[in-house]
Amino acid sequence: MKILLATSYDYPHLGGLSTHMTTLKTGLESRGHTVDTLSFTDVPKWKQYLIARGPSFILNKISKGAGYHWTLERRQKFLENMLSQEKYKQYDIVNAQDVFATRASIAAGLPTVTTTHGYLTYEGISRGAVAEGSKHADRLLAVERVGYTATRAVITVDTRIKNYVKKETGVEGHMIKNFIDVEAFKPEVERCEEFRKKYGFSLDEKIFFVPRRLNHKNGVIYPVLSLPAVLEKHPNARVVFAGTGELMEELKSKSAELGISDHVTLLGAVDHKDMVEYYAMSDIVLVPSVYSAGVEEATSISALEAMGSGVPLIACAVGGLKEIVNDGVDGILVPDRNVEAFSEAMVYLLDNPEKGEQLAETARQKIVEEYSHFAAAEKYEEIYMKALKN
């Protein structure tokens, strides 16, 4: 098949959706398919900024959420115009990665299936882009409902999102959990010293790695709040964040307020291809997601990559993380927003490195057996074939 993966967002970019597309592309190509991508990045820069992004700032000042909706609608229209070109008729199927890309593909008359990575409306509310109960939130929810009912098949990345789609639209989706490239993300812990020297970290530090966008639902403030108690017993501990977002300055100020700035490193954006090296140089990975405005973490790709890379994982017991991690067997789960529990788990794994090694070994085995991009690609292929018969 000739398959087009399309999104109204940027690609590539830092984040799970982009990682999903890259990994799915690799998996499908390994099965002999031709796979291309189309995204907002393919729109000329002047159109991106002058038409889609520029007016949104002013519109949001007039009515919170108006600019957010404007931008998404413009992105859809740009994709629709491109997909209407003759060259895109060669594709057997379009796998849209968001509901606005779905609308664009359907409007262009192309056979379309949709992968749903989250809760568009409620994620907008969670990060403050849209006001809860506003007309703009209602419009976004209406877009979701129309998109999910119009597409040939809906694929969701966890059970909660599948239930959400069913509740809002009556559509029965196909749940395929997120997955990783198990050949790229594999244990490289024996190269820890090499990578620490490469990135300028001390060999005697105990490094907690947080591969997360710096936003509220990812709970990134909690490793900072938990670190002082850890430092009391392990003064060589350090938390390293890889990601950008609106909480960057808050993390800096809170670290300074707690007197731990020298033990907190904010790397900013890290290229995805380099992430395996950061996993390898880390002692423990933290995925501190929280429940926020009706939004829960899906099947976290960061958690899967950590487990696949042979590094012990501490995660919060929310959303898809509860499906990924078997507490005490292949990782540790703690209640979200619980600073004391998070600190205790961090100290426990530093005190018991052999337990961490055991968790990591079991986790790697699980990832290979259950979260391989090869197995996921086969499942996607089956859905594409059924959709084309509709």
pLDDT at position 249 is 96
pLDDT at position 53 is 86
Render pLDDT for 74-110 as a digit per residue (tens, 0 to 9).
Answer: 999 999 999 999 999 999 999 999 999 999 999 999 9
For residue 11, give Cα distances in angstroms to 74, 252, 283.
17, 29, 31
pLDDT at position 180 is 93
- d(CA 307, CA 302) in angstroms, rounded, equals 9
- d(CA 384, CA 390) in angstroms, rounded, equals 10
Strands, DSSP E only, in 169-263? 174-175, 206-210, 237-241
Render pLDDT for 270-325 as a digit per residue (tens, 0 to 9).
Answer: 998 899 999 999 999 999 999 876 666 767 899 999 999 999 999 999 988 988 99
Domains detected in the chain: 2-179+372-389 (3.40.50.2000), 189-370 (3.40.50.2000)
- d(CA 67, CA 71) in angstroms, rounded, equals 6
- Rounded average pLDDT per 10-residue block, the chain, 390 residues: 97 84 96 97 92 85 87 96 96 97 97 94 83 89 94 93 93 93 92 96 97 91 98 98 94 98 96 94 96 72 95 93 93 96 98 97 95 95 94
Render pLDDT for 57-75 as a digit per residue (tens, 0 to 9).
Answer: 888 888 888 888 899 999 9
Q: Which amino acid belongs to residue 192?
A: C
Q: Which residues contact 311 (CB under 8 A, 6 or more apart)?
A: 189, 209, 279, 280, 282, 283, 284, 285, 360
